[in-house]
Structure 1
Amino acid sequence: GLTSAWAAVEAGKTLALANKETLVVAGPLVMQRAAERGATILPVDSEHSAIFQALCCGRRSEVRRVILTASGGPFRRHSLAQLRDVTVDDALAHPTWDMGPKITIDSATMMNKALEIIEARWLFDLSPDRIDVVVHPQSIVHSMVEFVDGSVIAQLSPPDMKLPIQLALSHPERWPSPAAKLDLTERLCLEFEPPDEERFPALALGFEVARRGGTAGAVLNAANEAAVAEFLQGRLQFLDIAAVCRAVLEHHHFDPRPSLEQLMRLDR
């Protein structure tokens, strides 16, 4: 993903960015090169697409914060004791999205949201203290932007990737979409609650890495991919995924200004 994204940016193209790892691993370098080459990066992630759309409602200087929504995954109500006994099959049963194994596990651990925090930090040039996360189990509100006057602009649609994919391809136009439409006359229940970082420690890692920059994103991404692979093979417990990632970050020799080649080596 990073190699092809870099080539598109280097050529000054408009890039519909479908993998968050590009900006997690090399966000500062990619965004700087995009600015230098006149390239445009349009997010395909539903959360970042929602933020991108909401940001059009005001000036960047008028943004107080962005609010990423998270489904909470299948273990939103699980205790720590229950999380210790989670199996692979349990973790692969996502309540609202149909996704591949790796991203489904990331959603269950909330590492997916941690990576999205880092992605948002670089994509929208936001300091991490202006990024928040709320749990929204219905996955109808895909993310929100709060402006300095207190207005909150949200993007709503059924949980279906057709819409953000199409918007990234059609921008700045909007086309008729085959995606399901939201019927507000239905008995629509929208719940929001704060995330629990004790049960889902990956979130704290996301904020820490977003603050550090440098090589931290590449190391977190690589450590998580390895840990998830071990969990899927039954060689690691569910709660150990975030613990392994933290241990790797703590033992890594941090470099605040890495080269692209260095980041690509770290992410292998």
Structure 2
Amino acid sequence: MVARMLLLPLFVALMVPVCSGAVWAQSAADTTRIEYRLLRQQENWRSLKDDDRGWAALKAVPVGGGASTVLTVGGEARTYVHNWRHEQWGRLSAHDTYTLQRLMLHGDVSSRLIGKQLGLRAFVQLKSGFVAGRDGPVFSTSKDRLGINQSFLEEQWSSGPERAVTLRAGRVDAFLAQASTTRPGVFDNDRKTGRTLWGMHMTRQGADGQISPYYFGTTRDIAPTDPTLRSTRHTFGMRGSSGQCRR
């Protein structure tokens, strides 16, 4: 069972996934193949906790003198080169070449308690964006000196090894989100209260297939068809699969 609260660059979201029969076993988690992921929070470096060679010492640092709590530190740098010719039909510079620099730094602390059936985790990822050589206007999402790209707290527990081979009863995900404004300063991004998205998605696995009902709701303070009205919409749906044929 997992409870997670997320803070994203474009969305401030509260997500509460719940699933029965999930197991956080030592053998399963620590033998996960080590690889870099586009979403860094999906990486698992716990198997390096006893390796102190080179960069491996930063990927799984024991905290508190034991192996139950591990700190992972990581980061990345990306450089993009953009070239515009006759931007906005020639109203701006006829030839504009500039670079975008993105820097990311993250820390991940995970701990296992109560016979390794209870897991606690905290993840924080910072971002920094710069623009160099731009003649035309700088887009608001291109420049951000320092901000939080994402952060969340996660709690995970298992029902014991006897549940590891049982059929999963189902999974429920609930979320609440609002858009965020990117500003050029330090930790000055703010959420937009004019639009809100929420919903719930359930997946139930049976012997003959899978069924996934869902619900999404949205509100907008200014309706797209009439700026004097408030817009609220509700969407219900269902997906399913039977045997080997899925839709």
TM-score range for the pair, normalised by the shorter chain length: under 0.3
More strand by share: 2
**Bigger Rg over Cα:** 2
TM-score (norm 2): 0.27
Higher relative contact order (CA 8 A, sep 6+): 1
